[in-house]
Structure 1
């Protein structure tokens, strides 16, 4: 390894040996209150906590600046020297082992290693894994941001002078593996690379710095294939059997250090283990393992059979009529694809025949409930298989329960669906694309902030949103944005209303929940560029259909956004576009202009928080003008009727304040009529579903909101639950009446309905930033006789619990509320009686 002159590095925070250092995020902008978010490792039971995560190279791990100036890095990027004609096709490439040596000549007081990769890596010292973190360094806009992990490895090196071996298992990951709907590879580079630097502080006060360099060696590993979508293949006979003659010199490359940064997000880790609920044998020699829960992660197989046994594991979300795993619904089959692609999610292992050996692929993850196991000598039992749940290690911040089991299972499904899609970035699904669709997170983040601490997780993702923004202000439909999807037809699908608006609405939600003004300041230029682009599109052109119907534009049209591509209210029931070309060309100005008004309104609020008075005035005026344009175009001056007359449009009109106050009740009544006309079924898609029930409840239709909540025929939430869903489906008819699956069965967006459970059924609503003030107003209905919820705000835990059975005299409700110190709750009972209470627990 390269050795630098001894010098004193920046001090690493002190902590007790053998424990994980707490990564603390200081929440700014809320006066004297700071929130600490512990970031602890949850290793497997058989793994020793040898290292501790630290942030040694920057004083603030939330700082978006590079982790260190280039001259602070004395290590070099190293890569396996694989001849081009020996590189397997994308998705089928192996993981490589890279090895270097360090000679510890003097006793060590402190040791910290900093590491990152173009690809994903697993680092070990003397054969012991440094950390339980996985899929490091994570998924980012690699051309702009590559995250560095820092670990305290003092316990692994102190008291052990002499030679030590550093090894990295290096795989494609997102960097050059399959990413996105196109399953393209080599999108950020065609060669993986690893970078590591070890800082040793000796007992005598001197320091030694060593890093990856030309002395490192590489060799093929026992991992014959590792791809995040296709899966992982291992030959366990090769574990630890690398011949010394097989190690070859690495290639050193000048990849620079300017893109290196830290991450404010917790790492990806194995966070839970699940014992299967059953194993069946639908065909001779074919076993199907049922975890009982759709998850993101992998399985650990502990029964591998005699040496040479070749076992194949196929991971899926649904079973076919024969009881076997079906995968066809997970094959991408979009109109712009020449042919359906593989569903992937297949792991393979060849047994070494060693007692106690297990197969647990850590360089891939899958979205699945069921696993087909082929080639196992049998019999295979539930004791041989363990489900390992893998996702970003987010701290829980909220929960809900009531006396209706199906509603509880719906809430559980929404939570599990989010967990399955919080794997370093907020993904759409953990199977087909694993893409960070901006619209999905925009609409779900208010629910997510209630359930989990997603401050650092979202901030990290927003930095990828900003890094991927085009020069003209366009926000990509995904973040990070797969390079291959920035070409051809798919390039035109970026910049959609409701998706690009995540750049404004997500930072605002982080401010409201956590008091985070830093993220508003950091994203302000991104917001301005997005809204400038929106304004140019609104004023610069008109939709062809509007030109044909009205050759001369009316004055309000300068604020009507009717150009560019928009996904619109994607996937309304029965609304899948039959003609994709026609869908692309359709006028969706009702949706786009609504979001134009909504985001400029929020930009004005953000500007006020940041003390930008002129910007606040400008955006407030612009928002008012856009609202007026929306009314001119979509509200009939004579009847007051809103068009298009769809549930989604009316929900949005009410939620975004697009109709005048005097027309709100009429519009809400029309919405209720539309629901009745649909047989008391919802008719919303992606964007407006979270607001449907709240809008009805707030406008005198609480009973109808509960009827929709409890509707059990498709399209509905409980239809999913009754058909066995343990996560929320992408389509309302994800599993049809014949049991045939369609598209992803794990998409969290429609699960945002659970905010209605928190805010209306239990009755807990935030009314001031950081929950300094909140409202408790239970709205019982639907036969629910008790409900409770809790939420950990930055000020402390809030609890609400009510029961009608426990009410004195058998009427009304009994309500208990816990208020954190320094906070105020406005309590409104179902009969309208109101109270204002401070910190403590109160009963009503």
Structure 2
């Protein structure tokens, strides 16, 4: 044995000691720690045992360097059973590790028959359904203005449910399996269970409802016990998405619950959701995710989840019949209170309202402690921005977007209010009705998002870019609350196009593998029979009617393509082949829909076309129907204008790109004939695009920056015309004062295309641009997140009615990691990596690191005069290739290296830390 190498960070399905999973062949991963250089695993040995210590899988010694996503291959795993597993490895230096510390893996309820519980519903009025409206209704001003009081009169209160049970023997093990219609919190004998918010998460409930598993062994008393559940509308019943519709999945709150208790004498007690539960309304008048909540502390029921509480006046629940076919175990991270922020300042407005500034736009809620007279009614309004005069400003328009909480005090010496069933997108809170000055030490902002590991960071010598990186991370954290949302205030919807463009950046900053894998399950389940992919997921029951009324079709190019692009990103960044397998059928259905549409439809403008050659190539152009196109081009004030101007060229570019990606995926999955078919399709689409849309001078028929970028990125241009197209793009940027003019779908590729085509200086000028539109314009105007629109605060100071927290335009973060700091995946999951920093960017230092599935990978360079020091750290069981172009006198740990004939160094290194020193005489142009 050797202490120089050991295994660490053991995970099953990307989780540490997962509880209640239902994956029949879970996968194991670990990292390797070693003080040696150039360490590679040569073999592993895994042993899995059940609760009786019986081995259910003994892999024996397996000769391989694989240490991630290793699939279980033992006896079938059983419901409710906890398994223990250990691993040892051998390395290429002849070392054999000790066995790892045993880790756990526990299965949930694997069969529908395992559920003995029934759905129950508290006594309640059916929720009132909002009138159906369209997107146009919202922005046309056609909606009838109603006061908040009018709109909340039909809201119903959250419910509390409780049940008594008696346990007279010593408890050995207890598990609680739980889900709900609505969102819930659990208590057992007066104790809250775990820091989990908004369970059971937002999924496509009609086809995918998660249940959670809790270890409650230490919560159960010998004798009388009480189990308590709090239920609120959440996404299931409440007002959601842009149109603010309610009852998208149901109109009644409900619970499905099963408590299984194993006793030391070998017997078992099972407590299920049944008619022995009783319910009450509690202190809430209502709680709606978007509108806010109204809480009357005078109605609080102290110790309501304790056995001694008198619930004689509570009302019996009713049994309800719902299918259990949509149930699956929790997969991926739950939402938690992840951070807390102290206020920056508090000031008064003329009407006496107190404005609290937390200094950072977040998604979450505020906690306040106060001593106020009984019956005091306090109002808390939330917003992301002040107006141009420094006044509180409700920046979000639309139905039911109030983000307003009401609190009635009970008059204790010291009482605390923190909302339970709502979250808001905000930086500022306007407080009215509080009779005394609020003290900063009495308030805290609680930041909520799904519990994902922060895996990466980028820093450099320019503090403005560091602030940009922080803004990107903040927009990511606060828009990854249960699903990947576009914004945490107006829509909170899982827009497929937004996460498609941002996924590469997201995978640097956080471990999003399980989070996006779960969301992709809903994307697949909600795919339409003809193959269309919804523009946002989960959809809800109004999606079809809203989409057809607003746009005429159910999907859009660049949005629907997320079913191919997002799994591809996850495969590249995490090395997970199963994600490709799970989504492959949905990918092919989507591309078949696109292909059939392209082949069967032609634009109205070509109905009388006589040119047979032109008509023939139309079947390779996706040029009909509505698409969002290169959405939100800055120079076009109306986003619909940008859609109409760019839609058919954008759609055809993405058609070609998805065909090529699907060809690559088919090769990986061993489908060679299918791959060849998609490769041929890609070539035909590219040929047709150039013939139809690009003239002899390299000018495209819809000459925007974004179209040139997509055409170059997706190889829609032949080699002979490529320089001409690059010149057209460079000229457009120059004529625009070296400012970007790209929309949602093209901006992810802007910097890469410029750098690849030799326009490095243009890319750097865009990066450091401070006029609107630019990333640093937002930073210099006080942004703490990424804005939906570059001109959310106009150059004249006018503040717009829009979201100040959209991550899409933050996709430049991917380029900062890859290009400036130089960290690139080589083989999927960083089994190999490419370190290629660009020290000619005008910075004097840059550094990035990412915790890969193999461990920490980092690249850090510092420039003094013309001398550069680059330090690279490579995790064990991987290798890296360091690429340095046009550098001289390169030294590695003091030893001179030789460039190749192209003045390009490619040096392969193994695990460990390395220092490269070289001269760089680059002088940035003015």
Provide the residue aligned with 1:843 in structure 2: 915
Structure 1 stretch 468-477 or stretch 810-819: which is displaced more?
810-819
Tell me the CA shift for residue 550 of structure 1.
5.9
Q: Assess if the C-alpha contact under 8 Å between 2:108 and 2:213 holds in 1.
A: no
Are positions 1:70 and 2:112 aligned together? yes
Cα distance, 1:783 vs structure 2? 3.0
* Aligned mates of 2:692, 2:410 — CA distance in 1: 70
Superposition map of 1:734-813 within 5 A: 734-737=792-795, 738-805=797-864, 810-813=865-868
Name the residue aligned to 1:12: none
Q: Are 2:32 and 1:32 equivalent residues in the alignment?
A: no
The aligned runs of 1:479-494 (5 Å cut-off) are: 479-488=537-546, 489-490=549-550, 492-494=552-554
Alignment check: 8 A CA contact 1:69 1:257 kept: no
Name the structure 2 match of 1:409: 467
Checking the alignment, whether the CA contact within 8 Å between 2:621 and 2:689 is kept in structure 1 is: yes
Whole-Å separation in 2 of the counterparts to 1:349 and 1:422: 28
Give the aligned partner of residue 661 of structure 2: 602
Q: Secondary structure at the match of 1:721?
A: helix
2:566 aligns with one of 506, 523, 539: 506
Q: Deviations over 1:687-732 (max 9, x none)?
A: 1111111111111111111110111110111111111100000011
Which residues of 2 match residues 117-516 of structure 1 at below 5 A? Answer: 117-157=180-220, 160-240=221-301, 244-327=311-394, 329-332=395-398, 341-488=399-546, 489-490=549-550, 492-516=552-576
Deviations 1:595-632 (A, max 9, x none): 01101111111111111122212211211211122122
Query: Hey, which of these two has a bigger chunk of strand by percent?
Result: 2
Give the conservation status (yes or no) of the 8 Å contact 1:304–1:376.
no
Alignment partners' CA distance in 1, 2:202 and 2:544? 17
Q: Which runs of 5+ in 2 are unaligned?
A: 1-10, 31-63, 71-77, 85-104, 130-150, 305-309, 888-903, 917-926
Report the Cα distance in structure 2 between the residues aligned to 1:306 and 1:139, rounded to whole angstroms.
38
Is the 1:296–1:420 Cα contact (8 Å) retained in structure 2? yes
Change (3 A) 1:672 1:356: same
- Pick the aligned partner of 2:633 from 572, 585, 601: 572
Distance 1:110 1:491 in 2: 54
- Aligned partners of 1:295 and 1:367 also within 8 Å: yes
Q: CA–CA distance in 1 between the matches of 2:815 and 2:414?
A: 48
Alignment partners' CA distance in 1, 2:330 and 2:265: 33
Matched, 1:701 2:759: yes
Worse overlay, 626-635 or 147-156: 626-635
Are the equivalent residues in 2 in contact too, given 1:280–1:289 (CA < 8 A)?
A: yes
- TM-score scaled by structure 2? 0.82
Mapping of residues 11-30 of structure 1, within 5 Å:
21-22=17-18, 26=27
DSSP-derived class of the 2:533 partner: coil
Alignment partner, residue 95 of structure 1: 158
Q: Check whether the contact 1:473–1:532 (CA below 8 A) recurs between aligned residues.
A: yes
Q: CA deviation at 1:493?
A: 4.5
Distance (Å, rounded) in 1 between the aligned partners of 2:620 and 2:697: 23
CA gap of 1:84–1:516, structure 2 versus 1, over 3 A, is: closer
The 1-side partners of 2:834 and 2:498 are apart by: 27
CA distance in 2, matches of 1:321, 1:384: 28
Cα shift at 1:229: 0.5
Aligned residues: 789
Summarize the Cα distance change of 1:34–1:834 in structure 2 as closer, same or farther, 3 Å threshold.
closer
Name the counterpart of 2:44: none
Residue equivalent to 1:547: 607
For the residue of structure 1 that corresponds to 2:218, the secondary structure is helix
For the residues of structure 2 that align with 1:821 and 1:660, how far apart are their CA atoms?
42
What's the offset of the Cα at 1:826?
1.7
Whole-angstrom CA distance in 2 between matches of 1:405 and 1:587: 36
Q: Displacement, 1:385?
A: 0.9
In structure 2, the partner of 1:44 is: none
* Bigger Cα displacement from structure 2, 541-550 vs 85-94: 85-94
Distance in 1 (CA, whole Å) between partners of 2:610 and 2:437 is 73
Shift of 1:182: 0.9
Q: Give 1:781 shift.
A: 4.1
Q: Distance in 2 between matches of 1:306 and 1:321?
A: 36
Query: Which residue number corresponds to residue 623 of structure 1?
Result: 682
Offset at residue 287 of structure 1 (A): 0.5
| 8 A Cα contact 2:697 2:724, kept in partner | no
Q: What secondary structure is seen at the aligned counterpart in 1 of 2:416?
A: coil
Alignment correspondent of 2:74:
none
Corresponding residue for residue 41 of structure 2: none
- Partners of 1:484 and 1:597 lie apart in 2 by 31
Cα shift at 1:89: 5.8
Q: Does 1:687 align with 2:739?
A: no
Verify the 8 A CA contact 2:362 2:426 in the aligned structure 1: yes
In 2, Cα distance between the equivalents of 1:326 and 1:445? 31
Cα deviation, residue 351, structure 1:
1.2
The residue that corresponds to 1:828 in the other structure is 883
In the alignment, structure 1 residue 81 sits paired with structure 2 residue 123:
yes
Distance of 2:539 and 2:65 partners within structure 1: 36
Match of 2:719 among 661, 664, 681: 661
Shift of 1:112: 0.5
**Measured at CA, do residues 381 and 256 of structure 1 come closer, stay the same or move farther in structure 2, by a change above 3 Å?**
same
How is 1:511-590 mapped onto 2 (pairs within 5 angstroms)? 511-547=571-607, 553-577=614-638, 588-590=647-649
Instruction: Please give the secondary structure, in 1, of the residue aligned with 2:204.
Output: coil
Q: Find the counterpart in structure 1 of residue 142 from structure 2.
A: none
Change (3 A) 1:238 1:430: same
* Distance across 2 between alignment mates of 1:728 and 1:493: 29
Partner Cα distance (2:390, 2:82) in 1: 54
* Contact 1:712–1:722 (8 Å) recurs in 2: yes
Counterpart of 1:592 in structure 2 is 651
Question: Retained in 1: the 8 A contact 2:119–2:274?
Answer: yes
Aligned-partner SS, 2:607: helix
TM-score of the superposed pair, with normalisation by structure 1: 0.89
Determine the structure 1 residue equivalent to 2:736: 678
Counterpart of 1:10 in structure 2 is: none
Q: In structure 2, what is the equivalent of residue 43 of structure 1?
A: none
Structure 1 unmatched ranges of 5 or more = 1-14, 37-53, 333-340
